[in-house]
Amino acid sequence: MNSRNVLFVEMKWLWLRLIFFASVLSHAGYSSVQLYNHPIQLRRVRRSLDTDIKTLVHAFVMSRVDYCNAIFARSPRYITDKLQCVLNAAANLVTGTHKFDHGLSHLLHEELHWLGVPERIHYKLGVTVHRCLQYKAPVYLVDCCTPVSDILSRRHLWSATRHHLTVPRYRLSTFGRKTFSVTSQMVWNSLQDSLRKPALTSNSFRQSLKTNLFRRYHSAHTAQ
């Protein structure tokens, strides 16, 4: 391959990176702007509502924050922070606090029992992989999840006995690792061994995963 072809390939990958980051950033920005209006509007009409405000927040805000948020996996923090601002505004609305009050993170996790945006993405990917391994997800997602124990040449490995998944090779660290076939496997392999047991039902897995994510939050903040 001559120098001109090498330059063309490099420019092509650079262009693809720019398109990917621009699309993810614009989606995050658009979603946060649209969602941020919901807590503001609910705060204005709060006194005239008969329905519990927490129910309305779950219906109009939380469901939208979780919608397609798996595409933000392994994204820079400044991208996920846009959705976190919406989550914080919803927490302020439910608890009656204000934007710059201290202890918002404590309220979010301790009183409301809400996960932060990065943890919610982690939770969604873990649940999706569990559904794939139980053949309850679309075929194109199931095909992305291959246990190490299903590969004959790797059945003797330690990772096979721990119910790990194979992580495919990827060329670009920028967006190659952000694909579902890579990110979901990494998330699954990072879970505790008890969470990867095939005998776990869907409800037990969801509950145990959420408990584990809260424990990670508490251990991280206790260490600080």
The reported pLDDT for the residue numbered 181 is 86
Q: Could you tell me the sign of the dihedral formed by the alpha carbons of 143, 76, 117, 40, in that order?
A: negative
Please, are residues 195 and 216 in contact by the beta-carbon 8 Å criterion?
no
Listed as ranges, residues in the chain with pLDDT below 70 are 1-51, 172-176, 221-224
What is the per-residue pLDDT across 89-100, written as a single tens digit (0 to 9) for each?
A: 888 877 877 777
C-beta neighbour count of 64 within 10 angstroms: 16
CA distances to 126, 153, 187 from 123, rounded to whole Å, are 5, 31, 9
Q: Please give the Cα distance from 176 to 214 (Å, whole number).
A: 29
Q: Which helix (H) or strand (E) holds 29?
A: helix 3-44
pTM (two decimals): 0.76
